[in-house]
Amino acid sequence: MINYANGKNFQKTIKIPAKSSVKPKSFSHGNRGMAFESDINETNEYYKNRGLCLVTKRPTPINVVEVDYSRGAIIKNAYFEKQSTTDYNGVYNGRYLDFEAKSTRKKTSFPLANISRHQIEHLKNVIKHKGIAFFIIEFSTFDEVYYLNAQYVINYYEKGERKSIPYDAVKEHGKRIKKAYIPRLDYLAIIQELYGKS
Amino acid sequence: MINYANGKNFQKTIKIPAKSSVKPKSFSHGNRGMAFESDINETNEYYKNRGLCLVTKRPTPINVVEVDYSRGAIIKNAYFEKQSTTDYNGVYNGRYLDFEAKSTRKKTSFPLANISRHQIEHLKNVIKHKGIAFFIIEFSTFDEVYYLNAQYVINYYEKGERKSIPYDAVKEHGKRIKKAYIPRLDYLAIIQELYGKS
């Protein structure tokens, strides 16, 4: 289960300033998707401050192998684990929300390769328990972001024939999320449209 | 925000076998509460497998300072961060659940010292958005576990006069959670009693 990231674009050892907003997740993704992720986090912060909904990001799971207690508690050896659930969940008007955010540079389709079987099983469970499950998908080349029902993605994933969802299908079956200054990505507007305002 | 754990009971450097079930959280708590935490995790696993509800544990947040990419992606320097939310959240019949689990060896009260202001703010937000917010509190000396409404704990926390909730108050205002072989700690039975069966 060791998540060896592809180190191609990195120096052998990277030092990150302690106060940097660069989060572990970013290592494996490079810069792609980082602005997107930060837009979602800022949107969640906005929703929280405005009292619209409460969504939190799950920390990246890390398997700790060795800790040095001589100077406090410094982790000296550890590795990233794959998220077995999704990155975000929360509550809107008492209802449970759960979603995964993914960015692609592709122009013709959204690849399903970086969605794990565990994540699909998790989202199926969320749906079974009547939670609101979805994906937020960015086509970075077009600067377009879509809300896509998790069930739609699950169906594609489980058909197994295709390893991606065509861009046109996302456009047709998803809902475009408006990009703005504040909030950056107003996905709650879509949830309110689909499930009612509180 | 560095969470320097008290290293008194540890050797200077502790090596943990990679497959160990010892999780980062355990470092700062020692053995206390570990069986309790594992009982909750097993209960959640049982609920998931039986399709009763879906509750996941948030990973311990870790701030990564240095990663060595020469042998994959090995974290060489990092430190534990305090959880700014709670340890568990999930969904039951579409409703959002959020709780913190704490164990104490004390006999006369449940100390509020290891509940952070961030966690209290988070739980207040959960309540504002109509989520089901609570604590699961273990008095390990008595082998007794209680479900306690988060609002009750928040009131104590914010009064500020007391730094703990008397055992008798927990007993009176909480609900005893049955311990059994399977499930270990049937807290969902209490949620069903309070909020209805699905």
B174 within a domain of the structure (yes/no): yes
pLDDT of residue A5: 38
Residues β-bridged to residue B66: A15, B77
B20 within a domain of the structure (yes/no): no
CA-CA distances (angstroms) from residue B85 to A72, B88, B116?
23, 9, 9
CA-CA distances (angstroms) from residue A115 to A36, A83, A85, A156, B180?
17, 10, 10, 12, 37
What does the longest C-alpha to C-alpha distance in chain B come to? 58
Split chain B (198 residues) into runs of 10 and give each run's mean pLDDT. Answer: 34 41 41 83 97 95 94 93 92 98 96 93 98 97 97 93 90 96 97 91
Are A110 and A99 spatial neighbours (Cβ–Cβ below 8 Å)? no
B6 within a domain of the structure (yes/no): no
Range of the structural domain that residue B164 is part of: 33-195
pLDDT of residue A114: 84
B161 within a domain of the structure (yes/no): yes
% residues pLDDT > 70 (chain A): 82
A150 within a domain of the structure (yes/no): yes
Preferred mutation among B48, B52, B75, B188 to probe A, highest tally of A CBs within 10 A: B75
Are A58 and A85 spatial neighbours (Cβ–Cβ below 8 Å)? yes
Q: In a 3-state reduction of DSSP, which class is residue A188?
A: helix
Task: Return the CATH number at A184.
Answer: 3.40.1350.10
Tell me which residue of B90, B3, B89, B103 sits closest to B51, measured CA to CA: B90
B24 within a domain of the structure (yes/no): no
Q: Which residues of A touch B95 (CB under 8 A)?
A: 94-96
Q: Any chain A CB within 8 A of the CB of B82?
A: no
Tell me which residue of B13, B41, B39 sits closest to B27, measured CA to CA: B13
% residues pLDDT > 90 (chain B): 74
CB A73 to CB B125 under 8 A? no
Residue range A137-149, pLDDT digits in tens: 999 999 999 999 9
* Complex prediction ipTM: 0.82
Q: How many residues does chain B have?
A: 198
Residue range A102-121, pLDDT digits in tens: 999 999 999 999 899 999 99
Burial call A14-49: b when 16+ CB within 10 Å, e when fewer: bebeeeeeebbbbbbbeeebbebbebbbebbebbbe
For chain A positions 103-162, those within 8 Å of chain B (CB to CB) are 122, 125-126, 128-131
Q: Any chain B CB within 8 A of the CB of A91?
A: yes
Tell me which residue of A41, B93, A191 sits closest to A33, measured CA to CA: A41
Tell me which residue of B67, B39, B167 sits closest to A7, measured CA to CA: B67
How far is A71 from B67, CA to CA, in rounded Å? 19
A149 within a domain of the structure (yes/no): yes
Please tell me the total count of domains within chain A.
1
Higher pLDDT, A51 or A28: A51
First-to-last alpha carbon distance for chain A, in angstroms, is 41
CB A16 to CB B65 under 8 A? yes
Q: B197: distance to nearest CA of chain A, Å?
A: 12
Tell me which residue of B66, B73, B3 sits closest to A82, measured CA to CA: B73
Residue range B124-160, pLDDT digits in tens: 999 999 999 999 999 999 999 999 999 999 999 998 7
* Nearest chain B alpha carbon to A131: B94
B22 within a domain of the structure (yes/no): no
One-character DSSP codes across B142-188: TTEEEEEEHHHHHHHHHH-S-SEEEHHHHHHHSEEPPB-SSSSB-HH
Tell me which residue of B134, B145, B150 sits closest to B184, measured CA to CA: B145
Q: Any chain A CB within 8 A of the CB of B78?
A: yes
One-character DSSP codes across B172-183: HHSEEPPB-SSS
